[in-house]
Chain A
């Protein structure tokens, strides 16, 4: 049995500013056994293909991208549900995939996940109380059995639910309430790192804001590090300090919220932001050029820059040379583009009316 105390044999003594989560060169390829894809080179779907991330205490990193960009695969590798094809995932300096089973269990106490679908993520045959208490039952060393009911009540109150709900079954709760239960379960072991995989996309509009504000408050109060995976750019902007934009298994742009939303340099980021419909009919008609076409197959990514097939600025060099994710002259945050767009911000909107002057 592992103990609750920090592992004395920790191979990496804590550095002063060690990130809670460090991902280096992470790749996850799924071999393909033939099929409809015309293949060139290796026969594998490169769902995630060389991703570096760092996440510090109390920080929220937003990972955005469209479906098929590899963000969900990345999440399941980070949670240790699948082994990566290459690269490392370090939690508090410990490599997740170099640990034995016992050590892995100990690390899992520090990282928890909130899943997307509040309807399928709770066992329909368990009461809310048992669902929230389950992490404590899996890690019995954390809390003696007789103190668990009180803890469950505390957790339910923490996420804004009536502790009397502990006797109910999931199907008796609304979607928003279920997602609160999912959050309470994730917080049961007092994690340092919370992975949220599209936690509000299955909820009704009027309920989304409840859960978003709850996550924001909890993060602040508990000092959690959050990796927030979502496709909704407005939601990510609301909640995240730093942003990483993914396209076809790679990160194409990363920076602080102000940097990425204020002056996106990568043509993909800019197109993504332009495509988000703003709830203001008076802005209609001020539309920008939209991206053409669909995401290429990750089994056969384009040569060079992966975005070049849909990029309005693509040139010869983009097909030949893969752009690295670095800070380029004239930019203030890393982009993976040979020809980052000039830092010309889309006309600033008047915050009061939301309209362009």
Chain B
């Protein structure tokens, strides 16, 4: 295929002030089979009004990292061994449980993948949304219910006034996820963490939910941390993307540049291994091997056993996350041979 001249890329939107900073986060799990290192020095910065995607496969540590930020990790077996999670500069990891609980929900909220198990089956959704207002805002029963209806309206649940008294099982999967989003937004948080919010949904419903999330973010100006494995979903909403592999960041970039010219072999491998509607007839190039066993991480670069470009150095020395390209691009990649990867272009 002749190499097309790279299209001019739009400038990334000017970010607001840093909202959530995760710095050198390490999380491990003590299990009878050994220590599982789930997160190994993760760092990212989320700005107000920005959508940051944490992209990774199962075992990349993306969900564990989110739970660590929320203070929802079960300890033991989990242990945060190093790092900081700063919200407006204040380290959340140093807070007491009670203080952390206060931050959670009011300033950081989370949308889970499985809305059915995240909702209490014996309480109406109106009660569950209203509870947030009663507990955190001290509203009375009637006021809380009114606010619940208002919120359900805002997440475009049809006939909200009637459905407020329904139970979770009476909603479809898409509507339940809307209820989850309503609960996340109830107390006007500054950061919303959405962990695979559409993975359990059908494509048509997924498109509705992603559009809703994008619209709500526009309205409220919250920072959205989107955790997903779906390259299509990321492309449709993310401003910046952090690619994770084996608990580390392997690449960090704004969305258009990452897709146009991935700077890390793993990102490149991911892009080449998904079938795409817009490119029929292209033979997929799979990434060989399987995601690593977190209890026995490979030496050096964790991706080297699966990397076509790996050399001896990759097995010995762990590559640091270093800037690539022009400084204005604000991209970085953790590969000894980034230059070669980018030189070959992002597309086969």
Residue numbers of A with Cβ under 8 A of B are 36, 66-67, 174-177, 204-210, 212-213, 231-235, 237-238, 257, 261, 271-284, 287, 290-295, 349-355
Contact = CB atoms under 8 A, between A and B. Distances in A.
B15 interface: no
B276 A209 contact: no
Contact of A206 (B208, B238, B277, B286): B286
B303 to A, nearest CB: 10
Interface string B256-286: 1001100000100111111111111001111
B206 A275 contact: yes
Contacts of A67: 202
Given A205-B270, A212-B284, A284-B235, A237 B204 contact: no
A235 B275 contact: yes
A272 B277 CA distance: 12
Given A212-B275, A237-B277, A281 B233 contact: no
B169 to A, nearest CB: 9
B94 interface: no
Given A212-B284, A354-B276, A275 B207 contact: yes
B235 A280 contact: yes
Contact of B291 (A204, A275, A279, A351): A204
Interface in B203-249: 203-208, 210-211, 229-238
Contact of A281 (B174, B256, B270, B272): B256
B2 A66 contact: no
Given A212-B284, A352-B2, A273 B238 contact: no
Contacts of B2: 352
A36 B170 CA distance: 9
A209 B285 contact: yes
Given A284-B236, A353-B4, A277 B287 contact: no
B75 interface: no
Contact of A204 (B57, B231, B238, B277): B57
Interface in B162-179: 170, 172, 174-175
A234 B58 contact: no
B235 A275 contact: no
Given A175-B290, A204-B57, A290-B211, A278 B278 contact: yes
A310 to B, nearest CB: 9
Given A204-B291, A210-B286, A213-B286, A277 B232 contact: yes
A205 B244 CA distance: 13
B291 A206 contact: yes
B289 to A, nearest CB: 8
Contacts of B172: 294-295
Contact of A282 (B234, B256, B279): B256
Given A271-B204, A280-B278, A351-B279, A209 B273 contact: yes
A174 B291 contact: yes
A67 B207 CA distance: 15
A231 B202 contact: yes
Q: Which 7 pairs of residues, A with B, have the shortest CB-CB distance?
A: A277-B232, A174-B290, A209-B286, A209-B273, A66-B202, A238-B275, A206-B287
A206 B158 CA distance: 38
A274 B277 CA distance: 10
Given A177-B290, A294-B174, A209 B274 contact: yes
A261 B275 CA distance: 14
Contacts of A287: 211
B1 interface: yes
Contacts of B203: 66, 231-233, 272, 275-276
A204 B202 CA distance: 18
Question: Interface residues of B toward A: which range?
Answer: 35 or more
Contacts of B230: 205, 277
Contacts of B7: 282, 353, 355
B57 to A, nearest CB: 4
A169 to B, nearest CB: 15
A139 B205 CA distance: 44
Contact of A278 (B202, B205, B235, B272): B235
Interface in B1-51: 1-2, 4, 7, 9-10
B290 A279 contact: no
Contacts of B272: 209
B277 A278 contact: yes
Given A206-B266, A234-B277, A271-B204, 20 more contacts: A36-B170, A66-B204, A176-B290, A207-B286, A209-B274, A213-B283, A213-B284, A234-B276, A237-B275, A238-B284, A257-B280, A275-B206, A276-B277, A277-B236, A278-B276, A279-B235, A279-B259, A282-B260, A352-B347, A354-B276
A295 B1 CA distance: 42
Contacts of A231: 202-203
A142 to B, nearest CB: 32
Contact of A276 (B174, B175, B232, B279): B232
B288 interface: yes
B108 interface: no
B35 to A, nearest CB: 19
Contact of A290 (B204, B255, B259): B204
28 contacts: A174-B291, A204-B58, A208-B273, A208-B274, A209-B286, A210-B287, A212-B284, A213-B283, A232-B203, A234-B276, A235-B275, A273-B277, A275-B204, A277-B233, A277-B236, A279-B271, A279-B276, A280-B259, A280-B278, A282-B260, A284-B235, A284-B237, A290-B207, A291-B207, A294-B172, A295-B172, A354-B276, A355-B7
A206 B273 CA distance: 6
Contacts of A278: 232, 235-236, 276-278
Contacts of B306: 206
A204 B292 CA distance: 12
Contacts of B236: 277-278, 281, 284
A274 B236 CA distance: 12
Interface in B182-220: 202-208, 210-211
B275 A277 contact: no
A352 B346 CA distance: 12
A351 B1 CA distance: 9
A132 to B, nearest CB: 19
